[in-house]
A = this chain, B = another copy of it.
Amino acid sequence: MSNYQNAQSIDQPLVIAGRTFQSRLITGTGGATDLALLEQALVASGTEMTTVALRRLDPRGDGAAVYQLIEKLGLQVLPNTAACFSAREAITTAQLAREALETNWIKLEVIADEKTLLPDVVQTLEAARELVKQGFIVMAYTNDDPVVARQLEDAGVAAVMPLGAPIGTGLGVLNPHNIATIVARASVPIVLDAGLGTASDAALAMELGCSAVLLATAVNRAQHPVVMAESFRHAVIAGRLAALGGRVPKRRDALASSSLEGRAYL
């Protein structure tokens, strides 16, 4: 009987570009201040994939320890093009990442300016088309515009990653209506990326139908990164199950949990 289903029977693992993930939380390395702490947070989050800003962490230079940590933990590395301000810079950075890290996965970020850190969607679309042509698995960071999301999908990206709020703000999902619209029209995974601050934000993102959540600041810059990593691990599971569990409808008026008459209920 269908309503006996439990978490194990009801869900499927996340699949991006043919690769299967048990965890729907992608934890970034950005904002981490201490390697040992980063390690504990990554483990506590349960993530299987972590992002690294290639332009900030040189695999052959002072960033080497981070890449070694990722390898030691058995995580998939997802290089990103953070700090790129044009399609051309992002494409070059992706190519460098592919060479240095031997992965054709790339989180595409093209930022418009240093003040807002918001994506430049015109440049992002251009870069996405080119990177797909060059054989990259592109996960594209973007705004929360459902039209741009669709255009990225048409460009062949493996996942669309709309923001909840500007990077580092911790404001949560500012426009749930847009995220729900993006999800309803998508045929690739939608990964909520950027702006989350706390557990309820991540749960909400999953309830809106996102396939996964990506965050970095919210863990790495929290007062207790390991605790927040555990928190988000549970939050993403909670939100995913709520999306599948068929929540009760919102009602304007109250409804007794049982009635004295009908005894329709126990």
How many copies of the shown chain assemble into the complex?
4
In the complex, the chain B residue whose C-beta lies closest to that of A259 is: B56
* Among B7, B66, B203, B224, contact of A238 (Cβ-Cβ < 8 Å): B203
A38 CB to nearest chain B CB (Å): 7
Query: A7-61: which residues lie under 8 A (CB-CB) from chain B?
Result: 7, 10, 28-38, 40, 44, 53, 55-57
Question: In the bound complex, how far is the Cα of B117 from the Cα of A234, in angstroms?
Answer: 32
Q: Is A103 an interface residue (CB 8 A)?
A: no
Q: Is A95 an interface residue (CB 8 A)?
A: no
What are the interface flags for A220-236 relative to B under an 8 Å C-beta threshold, 1 for contact and 0 otherwise?
11111111101111110
- Contact: B35 with A266, CB < 8 Å? yes
- Given A55-B260, A199-B207, A248-B218, is A10 in contact with B227 using a C-beta cutoff of 8 Å? yes
* Among B2, B53, B228, B245, contact of A258 (Cβ-Cβ < 8 Å): B53
Q: Is A121 an interface residue (CB 8 A)?
A: yes
Please give, as numbers and ranges, the residues of chain B lying within 8 Å of A2 by CB-CB distance.
224
* Among B34, B37, B241, contact of A228 (Cβ-Cβ < 8 Å): B241
- Contact: B228 with A28, CB < 8 Å? no
- Given A119-B147, A232-B238, A253-B116, is A204 in contact with B197 using a C-beta cutoff of 8 Å? no
In the complex, the chain B residue whose C-beta lies closest to that of A55 is: B260
In the complex, the chain B residue whose C-beta lies closest to that of A177 is: B174
Please give, as numbers and ranges, the residues of chain B lying within 8 Å of A259 by CB-CB distance.
56
- Contact: B203 with A255, CB < 8 Å? no
In the complex, the chain B residue whose C-beta lies closest to that of A36 is: B4
Query: A192-244: which residues lie under 8 A (CB-CB) from chain B?
Result: 197-204, 206-207, 216-218, 220-228, 230-235, 237-242, 244
- Contact: A258 with B198, CB < 8 Å? no
Question: In the bound complex, how far is the Cα of B145 from the Cα of A121, in angstroms?
Answer: 9
Q: Is A130 an interface residue (CB 8 A)?
A: no
